[in-house]
C-alpha cells in the first residue's frame, strides 16, 4: 500500500485507515520480534521474547514516525530519525555481551537484537516481504546452527583451577593428562601457599564438543586433586 503524506493527518476516514495500516506494520514487527525472541528464550539467553519484541516494535515505530511524522515540514529528511536506530540499538546489544573465564558470551544474541531492529525498520517502511523473510531466515539459521553438530560444536576457552597435593611432578603430570585429552594449555599459574599443597591455574582451550562435565568428574576422583573449580 502506497501512503501519501496528505493522508496521515486526522479528520477523515481515509486518514484513519492509513494510520491503521501503519499500526499493522508495527504489530507485525512486534510479532516477528516475538518469534525471534522465543528461539533465544528456549536457549536460556539473557535477551528473550520481551526484549526482541520491544526492539522490533520500537524500531518500526521510529521508522513510521521518521517517514510520516514530519510531513508538514517541507524538504525534510525522512530517514534522519530512523537512521539513529542502527547505531542506538548497539548500546542495547552491548548490554548482553559479557566475558567469563576469558570466553566472550552473548555475541550471537547481540547480533540478533541488531538484526531484529533492522526487521522492525523494514516493517515500519512497509517492506512486508523483506521483513518477514528476514525474520524467518534468522530463526532458521539459528535452528540449523544448533541442530547440526558440525556448526554447533566449536572450540572454547576456559580456566581450570586446581589445588594439588604437594609431590614431585604433580604439575607436570596434570599438564600431560590435559594434553592427552586434546586440551591446549595456553598458560599456567602456580601458587605455593602451604608446604603440603600447590595451587595451579590453567588457561586452556577445549576442543569442539568437549565434555567438561566428564573432565571435572574425572579430576575430582583423582587422589592428588584436593580442590577444583573453573
- Expressed as residue numbers, the domain containing 146 is 5-152
pLDDT of residue 119: 92
**In a shared domain, residues 141 and 167:** no
pLDDT of residue 172: 84
Domain boundary among 97, 121, 152: 152
Residues 6+ apart with CB under 8 A from 30: 53, 54, 56, 57, 60
Same domain, yes or no, for 161 and 148? no
CA separation for the pair 57, 77 (Å, rounded) = 22
Q: Are residues 181 and 141 in the same domain?
A: no
Q: Do 142 and 187 belong together in one domain?
A: no
Same structural domain for residues 217 and 107? no
pLDDT of residue 101: 55
pTM of the model: 0.64
pLDDT at 212 over 90: no
Amino acid at each position: 500500500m502506497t501512503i501519501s503524506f496528505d493522508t496521515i493527518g486526522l479528520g477523515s476516514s481515509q486518514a484513519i485507515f492509513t494510520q491503521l495500516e501503519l499500526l499493522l506494520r508495527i504489530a507485525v514487527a512486534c510479532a516477528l520480534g516475538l518469534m525471534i525472541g522465543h528461539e533465544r528464550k528456549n536457549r536460556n539467553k539473557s535477551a528473550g521474547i520481551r526484549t526482541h519484541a520491544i526492539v522490533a516494535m520500537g524500531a518500526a515505530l521510529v521508522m513510521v514516525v521518521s517517514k510520516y511524522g514530519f510531513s508538514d515540514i517541507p524538504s525534510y529528511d525522512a530517514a534522519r530519525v530512523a537512521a539513529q536506530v542502527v547505531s542506538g540499538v548497539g548500546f542495547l546489544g552491548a548490554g548482553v555481551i559479557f566475558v567469563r573465564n576469558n570466553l566472550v558470551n552473548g555475541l550471537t544474541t547481540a547480533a540478533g537484537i541488531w538484526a531484529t531492529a533492522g526487521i522492525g525498520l523494514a516493517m515500519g517502511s512497509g517492506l512486508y516481504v523483506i521483513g518477514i523473510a528476514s525474520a524467518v531466515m534468522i530463526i532458521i539459521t539459528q535452528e540449523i546452527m544448533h541442530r547440526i553438530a558440525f556448526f554447533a560444536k566449536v572450540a572454547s576457552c576456559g580456566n581450570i583451577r586446581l589445588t594439588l597435593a604437594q609431590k614431585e611432578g604433580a604439575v607436570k603430570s596434570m599438564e600431560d593428562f590435559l594434553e592427552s585429552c586434546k586440551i591446549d594449555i595456553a598458560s599456567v599459574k602456580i601458587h605455593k601457599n602451604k608446604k603440603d599443597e600447590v595451587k595451579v591455574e590453567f588457561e586452556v582451550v577445549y576442543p569442539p564438543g568437549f565434555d567438561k562435565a566428564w573432565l571435572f568428574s574425572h579430576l575430582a576422583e583423582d587422589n592428588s586433586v584436593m580442590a577444583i573449580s573453573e
